[in-house]
Amino acid sequence: MVNTNFRLINAFALILGLAWIVAGCTGSPVVPVSDLTNARTQHTARIVRAGDSLYTIAWTAGLDYRDVARWNKLQTPYSLQVGQKIYLGGEMSGTEISTSEVVSGLQAKRPVSASNPPAVVPTTSSEPSAGQTVPPANGKTPDSAEGWVWPAGGDLITRFNDAAGENGIDIAGVDGSPIRAAANGKVVYAGTGLRGYGLLLIIKHDETFLSAYAHNRAVTVNEGDQISSGQVIAEMGQSGASSVRLHFEIRRNGQPIDPLTILPRR
């Protein structure tokens, strides 16, 4: 009799436990700890890391650096401090940027090289090799600065394709061959801080246009240098790339455009 009563008590306890579990499932859902975040505002932001500049932050986010400076009340020369919060939205309606994408940085288009960044080397005067003549992908020509030239000789191996995430063109070449400034301007970035670009140079040509030169073996200019169209600024390499090449981009008001619509025919 005792054993029978014990079994009945255990069965009753089991039934009560199951009923409690079912009742819990029909109540308010349990929110995982990872979801306990503040409500998203219209301002997305990222924290300044070592090597960041206003230009690289805006470049990564696909924004006009002037907008980023205005949103954060920054004045020239746009000095940033490590740990500083930079807002990437505000007055520009419709701008939606994932905070996780901004914090993690630009996704690499190719495997990233683990080699150390090369040092600045003296400028060479060798001429680029003859390249393949490539007409623009379409007949449209955007508003442009004067004096644009091709940054390197060599075969065009990758074209601009916005839908596929190809923000520029790739030009094949020989390791160490010269890279030239595509137009007059000022060097606003030289370094390896943007994932997937290797050793990168960014030149500001005016208030509208910036250009970028990636995967260099070495650079021959410094941040702040004034640059003339056609001046040698770097040596071609494969830092952050699978083969020797120049990855070249032009941004107009922060947005990538097809370089073939602005470079002269060759």
Residues with Cβ within 8 Å of residue 203, at least 6 apart in sequence: 181, 182, 183, 185, 186, 187, 188, 210, 211, 212, 213, 227, 233
CB 55 within 8 A of CB 64: no
Query: pLDDT value at position 30?
Result: 34
Q: Which residue has the tokens 């930079």?
A: 86
CATH classification of 106-266, choosing from 2.70.70.10, 3.50.50.60, 3.10.450.50, 2.60.40.650? 2.70.70.10
Equal fold, 39-104 vs 106-266:
no
pLDDT in single tens digits along all 266 residues of the chain: 545 555 655 555 555 554 544 444 444 333 333 222 233 334 489 899 988 999 999 999 999 999 999 999 999 889 999 999 999 986 543 444 333 333 333 333 333 333 334 444 443 333 333 333 333 333 333 444 457 999 999 999 999 998 888 899 999 999 999 999 999 999 999 999 898 999 999 999 999 999 999 999 999 999 999 999 999 999 999 999 999 999 999 999 999 999 999 999 87
* Cα 27 to Cα 30: distance, rounded to the nearest angstrom: 9
Residues with Cβ within 8 Å of residue 143, at least 6 apart in sequence: 208, 252
Query: What does the buried/exposed string (b/e) look like for 131-170 if buried means 16 or more CB atoms within 10 Å of the residue's CB?
Result: beebebeeeeeeebbeebebbbbbebebebeeeeebbbbb
- Between strands 156-158 and 169-172, the pairing is antiparallel
The domain limits of the chain are 39-104, 106-266
Q: Is 248 exposed, middle or buried (0-12, 13-18, 19+ CB in 10 A)?
A: buried
CATH T-level assignment (fold) for domain 39-104: Membrane-bound Lytic Murein Transglycosylase D; Chain A (3.10.350)
